[in-house]
Amino acid sequence: MSDLIDNVPLTEEEFLLNMGPQHPSTHGVLRLVLKMRGEFIEDVIPHIGYLHRSIEKIAENRTYAQFMPYTDRIDYCASMPCNLAWALTVEKLAGIEAPPRAQYLRVIMTELNRIASHLIYLGVMSLDLGAFTPFLYAFREREMILDLFEMTCGQRLTYNYMRIGGVSRDIPPDFASKCREFTRIFRKRVDDYEAILTNNPIFLTRTKNIGILPIKVGLDYGASGPTIRGSGHNWDIRKAEPYSSYDKFDFKVPLGKNGDVWDRYIVRVQEMRESCNIVDQALDGLPEGDIKAKVPGVFKPPAGEVVMRIEAPRGEMGYYVVSDGTTKPYRVKIRTASFGNLQVLRYLSRGYKIADLVAIFGSLDVVLPEVDR
Amino acid sequence: MNKDQIENKLATRFGSAVEILKTKFPEPCMYIVIDKYIEVCKFLRDDPELAFEFLFSLAGVHYPDRFEVVIHLSSSKHVHQLVAKVKLPLENPKIPTLSGVWEAANWYEREAAELFGIVFNGHPDPRPLLLYDDWNYGYPMRKGWTGPDFIPMPDKSKGADE
């Protein structure tokens, strides 16, 4: 810390301000050192690593199946996509294909988790901007999704639901009706959120034309997901490189126009609606059959290396796995969306005030355990 | 462009500086000679037919006889991906920084430098990234790393796992 303060050259009018690691708006433990000139931010130096658990090293000491629960802990707001990415990576390496029913179940769970994750974004972001009601609303609806997950796999946060070659268990008999009830109710609830926020003058003042991200800059910094789609970049892995039968569903990719905080908000709200549509379609077309492909008990994928990516709620997430043909991976690199998205913060917040920094940071929807791994 | 077209294009443009690897996956995979690393990467980014504008990830790997820096690129314009690797010696692994080509490489390289001890020459901000400030126990992602209070996993490879 001391070397940092010493190494930042300051003029007489500038000063350093420490924000975090326990600041409520940093959504976890992130420390930002702000170089200020009066009220305005000249530079932001993020300090990450407070939640570093070296999951990549742990992976080298676990078998492929044993690593699945650890993937839950990469992003605890969206565990299902982390599970799914790991399962798909290992399946790609070993040439396994999950049965159709398992693929549909994966889509249902992943999309429900996308809604749950965006609800956290919506609630926390509006809370940061001083609107308390959406926070309570969002967590009320998230509770319904967590109940659905609890019915299916017994867990509410770290699901450990996917398996290499399929999923761990089938949905219970009354899942489909409860899930349809949720999507029916939820569509109206999204209207409620929009009524509170979308055209609210206070919200508009705080978010319109704040933190504008040009597409070229965003790609250069490695931003992905709703962060880059808010700028109008039409790129979604579910459409571009469909995995897990996403090509069988009809859904739109919402895009923003200006790339400001409000655009990133509206993209996520529309994504929640699209996810509802996907869940409904998947329930309608849910095939009968096995939920897990036959995978040997002692699982040894062939030696080689593989990279696989999916569209997680926050953007592109994926694994790079080097296998040496034994039961354990030789090297696992985890690429998470927040890692790229957080890098853009420095670019986005220059010239704004601290209150705007809170809005910009909220709009990136960064989850810190995903950054630190 | 499909896999063969990308491979042919790079092989004709750079000759022996790229060594194409045969894989069963749709992404082309290749080794780049370290001297041409930045030149090839700039070409991958700027060539209109390739247009790899997105650095998906950059990873260090520690093999028994070498280090490798592996980069994964993707292009949203042409919907294709590419895996490029550079071999580095075990002693004094040094490589030029990519952060001038893709800004995203900045943090990935800081991470690899800190966890593997790979030196990225010319990096604009070579501070440690993830480990705590007083970390003084070497490079934890290297194979065979041990530190204080380190308890190795019991070797079950001849027991229950097999």
Position A278 confidence tier, pLDDT thresholds 50, 70, 90: very high
**For the purposes of burial, counting CB atoms within 10 Å of the CB of A210, is it exposed (0-12), middle (13-18) or buried (19 or more)?**
buried
Position A320 confidence tier, pLDDT thresholds 50, 70, 90: very high
> Using a CB-CB distance cutoff of 8 angstroms, which residues of chain B are in contact with residue A373?
130
Position B159 confidence tier, pLDDT thresholds 50, 70, 90: low
B51: enclosing H helix or E strand: none
First to last CA, chain A: 22
pLDDT on residue A110? 92
Sheet holding B67-75, edge to edge: B18-21, B29-32, B80-88, B67-75, B54-62
Higher-pLDDT residue of B161 and A66 is: A66
Cα separation values, A187 from A148, A278, B152, Å: 17, 13, 51
Average pLDDT value over all residues in chain A: 88
pLDDT on residue B158? 59
User: Could you tell me which residues of chain A have a Cβ less than 8 Å from any Cβ in chain B?
Assistant: 1, 4, 48-49, 52, 54, 56-57, 61, 63, 92, 95, 216, 219-222, 224, 233, 235, 240-241, 298, 304-307, 309, 316, 318, 320, 322, 326-327, 330-331, 333, 335, 339-340, 343, 372-373
Among A216, A330, A343, the residue with its CB nearest the CB of B104 is A343
Position A304 confidence tier, pLDDT thresholds 50, 70, 90: confident
Average pLDDT over residues A299-307: 88
Residue in B with minimal Cα distance to A4: B127
User: Could you tell me which residues of chain B have a Cβ less than 8 Å from any Cβ in chain A?
Assistant: 23-25, 27, 29, 53-57, 59, 61-62, 70, 72, 74, 76, 79, 81, 83, 102-104, 106-107, 127, 129-133, 140-141, 153, 157, 161-162
pLDDT on residue A268? 92
Structure tokens, A155: 């867990």
Structure ipTM: 0.87
Q: Which residues are within 8 A (CB) of A113 and not within 5 positions of it... i.e. 6 or more apart?
A: A78, A79, A80, A81, A145, A149, A313
Average pLDDT over residues A214-240: 90
Q: What is the pLDDT of residues A112-124, one digit of tens each?
A: 999 999 999 999 8
pLDDT on residue A2? 43
3-state secondary structure of B14: helix
pLDDT on residue A5? 55
Position B19 confidence tier, pLDDT thresholds 50, 70, 90: confident
Position A10 confidence tier, pLDDT thresholds 50, 70, 90: confident
Residue A286 predicted with pLDDT over 70: yes
Distance CA A332, CA A355 (A): 38
Q: What is the pLDDT of residues B82-113, one digit of tens each?
A: 999 999 998 888 999 988 889 899 999 999 99
Phi, psi of B30 (to 5 degrees): -155, 155
Question: How near does any CA of chain B get to the CA of A234, in Å?
Answer: 8
Average pLDDT over residues B36-60: 88
**For the purposes of burial, counting CB atoms within 10 Å of the CB of A214, is it exposed (0-12), middle (13-18) or buried (19 or more)?**
middle
Average pLDDT over residues A319-335: 91
pLDDT on residue A1? 45
pLDDT on residue A76? 85
Whether residues B103 and A221 touch (CB distance < 8 A) is answered with: yes
Average pLDDT value over all residues in chain B: 85
Higher-pLDDT residue of A185 and B13 is: A185
Residue A4 predicted with pLDDT over 80: no
Q: What is the pLDDT of residues B116-153, one digit of tens each?
A: 989 998 888 888 888 888 888 888 888 888 888 877 77
Residue A178 predicted with pLDDT over 80: yes
Question: How many C-beta neighbours within 10 Å does residue A255 have?
Answer: 19
Q: Which of A253, A320, A321, A344 to mutate to test the interface with B (most CBs of B within 10 A)?
A: A320
Distance CA A197, CA A206 (A): 11
Which range (A106-115, A319-328, B4-13) has the least confidence? B4-13
Position A24 confidence tier, pLDDT thresholds 50, 70, 90: low
Question: How near does any CA of chain B get to the CA of A134, in Å?
Answer: 34
pLDDT on residue A332? 92
Position B70 confidence tier, pLDDT thresholds 50, 70, 90: very high
Which range (A11-15, B64-68, B153-157) has the least confidence? B153-157
Distance CA B72, CA B41 (A): 11
Question: How near does any CA of chain B get to the CA of A235, in Å?
Answer: 7
Q: What is the pLDDT of residues A137-171, one digit of tens each?
A: 999 999 999 999 999 988 888 888 998 888 988 88
* Backbone region of residue B138 per phi and psi (left: phi > 0; alpha: psi in -120 to 50; beta: other values): left
Residue A253 predicted with pLDDT over 80: yes
pLDDT on residue B157? 59
Q: What is the 3-state secondary structure (H, E, C) of chain A?
A: CHHHHHHCCCCCCEEEEEECCCCHHHCCCCEEEEEEECCEEEEEEEECCCCCCCHHHHHHCCCCCCCHHHHHCCCCCCHHHHHHHHHHHHHHHHCCCCCHHHHHHHHHHHHHHHHHHHHHHHHHHHHHCCCCHHHHHHHHHHHHHHHHHHHHHCCCCCCCCEECCEECCCCCCCHHHHHHHHHHHHHHHHHHHHHHHCCCHHHHHHHCCCCCCCHHHHHHHCCCCHHHHCCCCCCCHHHHCCCCCHHHCCCCCCCCCCCCHHHHHHHHHHHHHHHHHHHHHHHHCCCCCCCECCCCCCCCCCCEEEEEEEEECCEEEEEEEEECCCCCEEEEEEECHHHHHHHHHHHHHCCCEHHHHHHHHHHHCCCHHHHHC
Contact status, residue A158 vs residue A79, Cβ threshold 8 Å: yes
- Residue A60 identity (one-letter amino acid): E
Contact status, residue A99 vs residue A91, Cβ threshold 8 Å: no
- Residue B143 identity (one-letter amino acid): K
Residue B38 predicted with pLDDT over 80: yes
pLDDT on residue A274? 92
Residue A32 predicted with pLDDT over 90: no
Q: Which residues are within 8 A (CB) of A16 and not within 5 positions of it... i.e. 6 or more apart?
A: A5, A8, A10, A33, A34, A35, A36
Q: What is the pLDDT of residues A62-117, one digit of tens each?
A: 889 889 999 988 888 889 999 999 999 999 988 888 999 999 999 999 999 999 99
Position A271 confidence tier, pLDDT thresholds 50, 70, 90: very high
β-pairing, A315-323 vs A304-312, is antiparallel
Question: How near does any CA of chain A get to the CA of B35, in Å?
Answer: 23
Whether residues B56 and A316 touch (CB distance < 8 A) is answered with: yes
First to last CA, chain B: 43
pLDDT on residue B156? 62
